[in-house]
Structure 1
Amino acid sequence: MELREVRPSDLDEFFAHQQEPEANLMAAYQARNPSDRAVFDHHWNSILNDPSVIVRTIEHEGQVAGSILVFEGETPEINFWTSTKFWGKGITTSAVDAFLAEYTKRPLVAHVVQDNLGSLKVLERRGFRQVGTEQIFSNARAEVVTEIILQLDN
């Protein structure tokens, strides 16, 4: 697993990952229509041109496995997305470890839908602890879900 700068060609892979139904269910902040490439391109253009966002491509054996980023704000927030074909192989765990070694500002928060057990496990094993919950609307599920707010202090 390697973290690297995002290349323009990575966006095609990120868009394909966004089409995976199971991954969509685990994502709380998903586009209303994940197959709308124009909305996707606008969103990623905003991310890549925002100096307060640090983003990396997760690459595994030459393939784009996903992305990981932090939105720097009052309290920085980490987000990651891994293609379902890479789930259960330790790739996300390795990516989060590498990113946390590179990005050392604390506290750092994460928001995870309560039934996204894989992401919760990755974060909790890295020292994130639950600090709250909130109800949000999930476009992918078309319903209100409970999101767990986690924080890493050191």
Structure 2
Amino acid sequence: MRISLREVRDGDLPVFFQQMNDAVAVEMAAFTAEDPADREHFATHWRRVRNDPRVVARTVVGHTEDGAEVVVGNAAVFGGPEEREITYWIGREHWGHGLATRALRALLALVPDRPLYGRVATDNVASVRVMEKCGFVLSHREKGYANARGTEIEEAVFRLDT
């Protein structure tokens, strides 16, 4: 499946909400909202994201062979000049096809800011691999509270300089 990035549209948000409430995906991501099912918190978050000029948020769109478009997930860069960070979420039904790697590469081409950082639960092997494939290098590890798991876990912090 070919992918592209586009501006986030209102119609994308219900898909994001559904994807971000998939129990398996939430467990894998680990660092999520305290209550992913809280629609008001979700709506407030996306209003803030879409209105912040420092945030570059995009919908990841998949293009099927018959020309149909499918919302695959989202990707963004946020934070101040010295602390720019990437984030992405790909719907679980699209895992295992290299879409996260392609989406992150497209985002990196769109946003020239460097350095960029990315954070991943160390046991999320697939996301660690996405970071590495996109040129990010492990900077350090730290502990953080993972809402989705209800405990503190180890997080890998990656950095991209070029």
What's the counterpart of residue 54 of structure 2? Answer: 52
What secondary structure sits across from 2:14 in the alignment?
Answer: helix
Question: Residue 133 of structure 1: CA displacement?
Answer: 1.0
Aligned length: 154
Aligned to 1:102: 110
For 2:83, the aligned partner's letter is: T
Q: Secondary structure at the match of 1:9?
A: helix
Q: Pick which of 142-151 and 94-103 moved more.
A: 94-103
Could you tell me which residue of structure 2 aligns to residue 11 of structure 1?
13
Does the 8 Å contact 2:118/2:157 carry over to 1? yes
The root-mean-square deviation of aligned C-alpha atoms, in Å, is 0.9
Which segments of 5 or more consecutive residues in structure 2 lack a partner in the other structure?
64-68
Whole-Å separation in 2 of the counterparts to 1:28 and 1:135: 12
Are the counterparts in 1 of residues 5 and 60 from structure 2 also a CA contact under 8 Å?
A: yes
Give the equivalent residue in structure 2 for 1:38: 40
**Of 91, 105, 108, which residue of structure 1 is paired with 2:99?**
91
Partner Cα distance (1:69, 1:100) in 2: 10
Match in the other structure for 2:77: 70
Q: Deviations over 1:124-150 (max 9, x none)?
A: 112111111111111111111100000
Q: Is the 8 A contact 2:101 2:133 kept in 1?
A: no
For the residue of structure 1 that corresponds to 2:156, the secondary structure is strand
Residue 121 (str. 1) matches residue 129 (str. 2): yes
User: Could you tell me how far apart the structure 1 residues matched to 2:99 and 2:59 are?
Assistant: 12
1:152 Cα offset (Å): 0.5
**Stretches (4+) displaced over 4 A:** none
| TM-score normalised per structure 2 | 0.92
3-state secondary structure, aligned to 1:3:
strand
Separation in 1 of the partners of 2:41 and 2:134? 33
Identical counterparts, % of pairs? 40
Please list the CA deviations of residues 62-82 of structure 1 after superposition, one character each: whole Å capped at 9, or x if unmatched: 111100000131221000000
Query: What is the alpha-carbon distance in structure 1 between the residues aligned to residue 83 and residue 30 of structure 2?
Result: 19
Q: State which of 152, 155, 158 in structure 2 corresponds to 1:147.
A: 155
Q: Which residue of 2 aligns with 1:130?
A: 138
User: How far apart, CA to CA, are the structure 1 residues paired with 2:7 and 2:15?
Assistant: 14
